[in-house]
Structure 1
Amino acid sequence: MGSTGSGSFSDYPGSRPKEGGEGAGSGGASGEDRCARAFSCVLEEVEQCDYFAASGGVPPANTALTIEHSGRLFAVDASGQTVGALPTSLNYLADCMAEGFTYEGRVNSSASAPVASVSVDFAPRTP
């Protein structure tokens, strides 16, 4: 009835342990490169972003988006306007982007009411 982990965040998949430090093993990693996986997400804070402020709405389906890291991960359109923030569960992508990965996506669905929402499918571009 106990934990076999090291008590460090390195026990969780996607974390980066200190070199040579305790818990510097596989940390529960599955061996799969999360950076190279396509994913879908629903953007957050859409109504507080540039696109919504400028247009009063959300981008239509099939709008091309990329991801930028500006203190937080944001989906941006071709003109550089933020459309929405990525969920914090995808924060590991910041490390992937630092390694040279880029992500391109398309709006899958969007709605302005009752609450603005944008669903996006992203695919990686390897370095």
Structure 2
Amino acid sequence: MSDETYNATGSTADRAVETLHRIDDKVAMLRKQRLEDPDSATDKLIKSVLPAITGMVAGKLFQVTWDRAQARRKASSGESSSNAKGLMMNIAFAAASAALGAVISTLSDRGSQALVDFRHRKHHR
């Protein structure tokens, strides 16, 4: 084997070992973060599922309420649906639904975090 081939193989091996060390360091760092994370799997589940369910329920309740109000309004006024009014009502529904969704999302995120914090405080007593 020539000296050139040995140096190329040596530098390739050195690069491979260096890459493996970087990967090992990254894995060790991620493992340390996971072990130091105070949230259990249940806490993470609460923080993700509770806001999602709350948002779906609130959205459905808003839609049902909106539909009932629109049906009552049309029945009392005896009007037929025109395209212009229908478009405006759809835009109003979308805006109101988005605003409610933002409020519910923020409140449910805070509520689920408060619940997890309460569980942590209770556990440490």
Q: What range is the shorter-chain TM-score in?
A: under 0.3
Hey, which of these two has a bigger chunk of helix by percent?
Answer: 2
Between structure 1 and structure 2, the one with the greater Rg is 2
